[in-house]
Amino acid sequence: MKHTLLALLTLLSALSLPAQNTTADTLQAKSRLLNMVVVTATRTPKLIMEVPVVTRVITEQDIKAADASSVQELLQTELPGIEFSYAMNQQVSLNMQGFGGNSVLFLVDGERLAGETLDNIDYSRLSLDAVQRIEIIKGAASSLYGSNAVGGVVNIITHTPEKPWSLNLGARTSSLGEGHYNGTLGIANGRWNSLSELQFKHADAVHLADTGDLRTIFAHRSFNAKEKVRFKASDRLVFTGRAGYFFRQREKSSEASDRYRDFSAGIKGDLDLGTESDLMMSYAFDQYDKSDYATASGLDVRNYSNVQHTFRSLFNHSFLTPSDTSAVLGTLTLGGDVMRDYLMSYQFTDGSHTQYTADAFAQWDWQPSSRLNIVAALRYDYYSEASASHLSPKINLLYKFSETNLRASYANGFRAPTLKEMYMNFDMANIFIIYGNPDLRPEMSDNLNASVEWSHSHYNLTCMAFLNHVSNRITTFWNQERNGMLYSNMRPLNITGLDLSASARWDNGLGVRLSYIFSHESLTDGGMRASSTRPHSATLHIDYARQWSWGRTTLALNGRVLSAVTCDEYTSYSNPTQTEEITYPGYTLWRFTLGHHFDGGWALAVTVDNLFDYRPDYYYSNSPATIGRTLSVGLSLDVDQCFGDGKEK
């Protein structure tokens, strides 16, 4: 391993000689960073350096450099403290610094996604093909996003075409038998523009081991089609319409397959009211279905359907400084949502349930001086079936001096009990019954964090300390009276830690980013170590770019290091005193990507994943599902560049 790493670093060093255009590239990259606008932290566009909440952005360039085939792979490569593993029945499960899939809110262009399996949305719905950037906020954000934003928000933002036309075609294959084919067409014509995406992915079954919690990863295939149309009705009014279809099938056995489908649509209007005000109104439809497909009979029987209708409005008004009308004193944001949430599930004995939710929120983004920014918000949420209402406040502070940004914030997070958690009555293979609980209280979190960000010349350093106090977390416990598992609220727990990140980008084209997270999870009144969150995790990213007369070459080395974790697990569901200590081993995974963008629109990417051929001795459910080193090759063509000036977009 050491020799391979040394050889790669030598290669990167040898290449990192002063080269033509690299200074310009670096300046361009720095300028891009300084001018980067983000929207997730305040629901209004703000420069990233002026947002009072630490926002991690994965740019389109980062996505290309990482050569990731999925959002899961990308997030794990780019951020420490994020671990996607398999839960029961090989369903994907997220752990982000102690928060599970139901406590991290995933959005696509600001919209929620319907459906879940074992508390996680279907991450394979999230295509990377037309992503402009991904904004990640760690910590509670319910004062703007409501339920589920207990532990953080991941907002995936797609492109809006600007060129008259653009067409990207891509294909990628790997030594594991994976295939990924995609096409993205962008059209901008006067008042209209359109973005069309098609994607098809398939993967063969992968046999990991004959014994273990994980043995064979099921073969699967998926199809994703999306259309987004934007119409500028006038200088002040813009409509955006969208529609999407998603299909995934995984081959569970020769007799049966699991099928997943999603139908989505939406329309949004953005109105510039003049006098520093704007109004957005939208409607979103999302239907996520699951069905069992029987190979012999050909029957495809639906057993789950989650249908969400959401109406939303958002109003912003900026107040100008009386003494200087070109400066904004503050921005008032008012918003509200109404959602109808319908769930039919095989886990119910009574068919289906419907819940109505409504919320209203207000945020004041105050800029008392050029150095100080204070953002305060309050949101009220109401859930009809849970009979739950909740007030979520937050306050964020940013103080800038010299090359340093100081940030501090308090934010409240909450998650209302879901229809599944309230009404489940599911016979688990004749082994036990899992009962829902209509009396559940909403999960809550209080998030405190403070950070220092220092930027100088080529360097950036961020240090953040965080504390999350989580109460009423919802999980299942054995209930003696009902002789089964019952959804219940947990005792309070604390998640504390440090999040460090250092990055540098030099004029010779070399860039380095090192991120580390320490996370400690404990029940406030002691008790067993139930958490399987790894206390230490780090990512290292080294990239190098060089412009040649015949194109542009990029090299990237990405590493993930995850520590071992020891926890106590129940050996008896009905007797909470029977536990055993189990240690999940730490591991490290590295990937190396060589990419070249040829003048004329062709791009080639060759990636060696699991560079040091790591294989777990035993495949636990949270072990990486790898059988060792793999190779993938991707080719893409920007067809418009074949007809244009040949410059990169």
Contacts of 21 (CB under 8 A, 6+ apart): 547
Q: State in angstroms the smallest separation of the CB of 280 from other proteins.
A: 14
Residues in contact with other proteins by CB under 8 A are 88-89, 211, 213, 215, 233, 239, 253, 255-256, 261, 263, 265-267, 269, 283, 285, 287, 289, 291-292, 294, 296-297, 299-302, 305, 307, 309, 311, 340, 342, 344, 352, 354, 429-432, 483, 571-575
Contacts of 617 (CB under 8 A, 6+ apart): 585
Choice between 356 and 548, CB closer to other proteins: 356
Choice between 297 and 549, CB closer to other proteins: 297
Choice between 91 and 471, CB closer to other proteins: 91
Q: State in angstroms the smallest separation of the CB of 443 from other proteins.
A: 25
Q: Which helix (H) or strand (E) holds 365?
A: strand 352-366
Q: Strand 484-489 vs strand 432-435: parallel, antiparallel, or unpaired?
A: parallel
Choice between 132 and 483, CB closer to other proteins: 483
Choice between 434 and 450, CB closer to other proteins: 434
What does the block give as tokens for 174? 């790997």
Q: State in angstroms the smallest separation of the CB of 276 from other proteins.
A: 24
* CA torsion, ordered 153, 154, 158, 159, to nearest 10 deg: 90
Contact 202, 174 (CB under 8 A): no
Q: State in angstroms the smallest separation of the CB of 301 from other proteins.
A: 5
Q: State in angstroms the smallest separation of the CB of 337 from other proteins.
A: 14
Choice between 313 and 494, CB closer to other proteins: 313
Q: State in angstroms the smallest separation of the CB of 358 from other proteins.
A: 15
Terminal Cα distance for the chain, rounded: 37
> Which backbone phi and psi does 33 adopt, to 5 degrees?
-65, -45
Strand ranges inside 275-351, DSSP E: 277-294, 300-321, 324-345
Choice between 205 and 233, CB closer to other proteins: 233
Contact 8, 557 (CB under 8 A): yes
Choice between 41 and 108, CB closer to other proteins: 108
Rg (alpha carbons) of the chain, rounded to whole number: 25
Alpha-carbon span 555 to 596, nearest angstrom: 9
Q: State in angstroms the smallest separation of the CB of 307 from other proteins.
A: 4
Choice between 356 and 643, CB closer to other proteins: 356
Choice between 176 and 434, CB closer to other proteins: 434
Q: State in angstroms the smallest separation of the CB of 298 from other proteins.
A: 8
Q: State in angstroms the smallest separation of the CB of 48 from other proteins.
A: 33
The full DSSP string for 325-344 is EEEEEEEEEEEEEEEEEEEE
Q: Which helix (H) or strand (E) holds 435?
A: strand 432-435
Nearest partner of 156 among 132, 176, 179, 174, judged by Cα? 132
Q: State in angstroms the smallest separation of the CB of 165 from other proteins.
A: 23
Q: For 483, left (φ over 0), alpha (ψ -120 to 50), or beta? A: left
Contact 535, 558 (CB under 8 A): no
Polymer length of the chain = 649
Q: Burial letters for 367-382: b for 16+ Cβ neighbours within 10 Å, e otherwise?
A: beeeeebbbbbbbbbb
